[in-house]
A = this chain, B = another copy of it.
């Protein structure tokens, strides 16, 4: 039998949702590494057929030649009507492996339940293949990695923290910045001018730090956000706004 877990031939494999952390391969957990090295097939989300992904590059060094590392299509697309059948197909591909008794890992950068494509796989597999056991391996999420990298603590004692996509309307962002001690703005890449205007208006520009692709070879930390004006930013970027002293 395959190394598909300790169960009998007829059993269904386990689906592992494995977070591989924010970018540094050393930030994998011992559990993530053990699971990845124990499964015959590792799937990763790819934005185009045959493409590598941020997550697959993080774990490349740990994969043996006898393990299959396969991309599943997750296009950069917002239309749920078009996405749904593609996700269903990705889930069906993994299910084909799972139903023959093989364990399968689906990797995502960061944590699997924190703004990750794994959430969709998890939901569909639960609905369509209720006999499949799912185990989620949590991981270091990007806010924690960015905080460690920049020396800006996220929260201490009784502080309150909000994590929000920066694409929200100014009214909501303003209230969050007023009410919370720390605000982590995700997905800042497409709305940086708006974010900067808001931070200037609230006198928080010097309380903010920008981090792009934290822990990867392309990592960038910018403490003076004004320097980012006019730049093209990566999708994997965030801003930590910390109202206490930095």
Residues of chain A from 129 to 159 with CB closer than 8 A to chain B in the complex? 134, 136-141, 144-145, 147-149, 151-159
Distance, CA A40 to CA B77, complexed state (A): 51
Q: How many A residues touch the partner, as a band? A: 35 or more
Residues of chain A from 92 to 119 with CB closer than 8 A to chain B in the complex? 111-116, 119
User: Does A128 sit within 8 A of B, measured CB to CB?
Assistant: no
User: Does A1 sit within 8 A of B, measured CB to CB?
Assistant: no
User: Does A33 sit within 8 A of B, measured CB to CB?
Assistant: yes
Residues of chain A from 60 to 115 with CB closer than 8 A to chain B in the complex? 111-115
Cβ contacts under 8 Å, A28 to chain B: 29-30
Decide: B160 and A163 in contact? CB cutoff 8 A.
Answer: yes
Residues of chain A from 227 to 243 with CB closer than 8 A to chain B in the complex? none
Cβ contacts under 8 Å, A161 to chain B: 162-164
Cβ contacts under 8 Å, A122 to chain B: 151, 153
Distance, CA A147 to CA B112, complexed state (A): 9
Distance, CA A167 to CA B159, complexed state (A): 11
Whole-angstrom distance from the CB of A136 to the nearest CB of chain B? 4
User: Does A225 sit within 8 A of B, measured CB to CB?
Assistant: no
Stretch at the interface among A19-27, A41-49, A189-197, A216-224: A19-27
Whole-angstrom distance from the CB of A186 to the nearest CB of chain B? 9
- In the complex where A156-B120, A163-B163, A168-B160 touch, is A138 in contact with B144 (Cβ < 8 A)? yes
Cβ contacts under 8 Å, A116 to chain B: 156
A contact residues vs B (CB 8 Å cutoff): 17, 19, 21-22, 24-31, 33-34, 111-116, 119-120, 122, 134, 136-141, 144-145, 147-149, 151-165, 167-168, 172, 175-176, 179-180
12 CB contacts below 8 A, A to B, read A22-B138, A27-B29, A30-B33, A111-B140, A113-B152, A114-B144, A120-B156, A122-B153, A136-B149, A139-B140, A158-B167, A161-B164
